[in-house]
Amino acid sequence: MECLGCKLANEEEIIYKVYEDDYVTCFLDHVPFYAGHTLIVPKQHVLEVDELDDCVAKAIMDASKLISKAIKLLYKPDGVTICQNGGIFNELTHYHMHVVPRYKERSFAEFYTVQSGEKKNYNFEETQNWLKEAIEQILLTKKA
C-alpha cells in the first residue's frame, strides 16, 4: 500500500484516532489550524469526492456531524468549517475531509494563511482523549 492516506486510514502510520467505523477513520490533523482539527479519511482508496460510493459518502457525512458536535461541545467555537480539497490541492492524494473549529478573529480568507510561528504546539494525546470522550458521550446520548 503506497498511498499515505490509505496507510493513515488503516493505521499503518501513527495517528491520533478519535473515531472510526467500517468505512472511515477520523484522526487529528498533524498540523492543526486549531485544537480539535480532525480529518475524516475513507479506509478504501478514493482520490476525489465524485469517486465516493454512497455508503462511504454517508459514513463521511455522519462522521462530520459527529465530530462537529464533539468540537462544539469541547471548544465552543464561533463556527465549524467542513471542507475538502481536490485536484492539485489534495496534498494527501487520497480523499479526506477537514472538520475545523473556527473563531471570529480570523476571516475565511485569513483562515488558510498562517503566519510563521503562529502554529502552536498542541498536546495531541490530550486532545485525542477529550474528543474520544465527547464522541462517546454523544453516541451514548443518541442511543438513550
> Any idea which residues carry the catalytic annotation?
98
In the structure grid, which three cell numbers stand for residue 11, read together?
493505521
Query: DSSP letter at 46?
Result: -
Query: DSSP letter at 3?
Result: -
Spatial separation of the C-alpha atoms in residues 26 and 87, rounded to whole Å? 21
Order across the sheet with 79-83: list the strands: 17-20, 24-28, 38-42, 97-102, 79-83
In the structure grid, which three cell numbers stand for residue 12, read together?
499503518
Spatial separation of the C-alpha atoms in residues 125 and 123, rounded to whole Å? 6
Spatial separation of the C-alpha atoms in residues 31 and 121, rounded to whole Å? 9
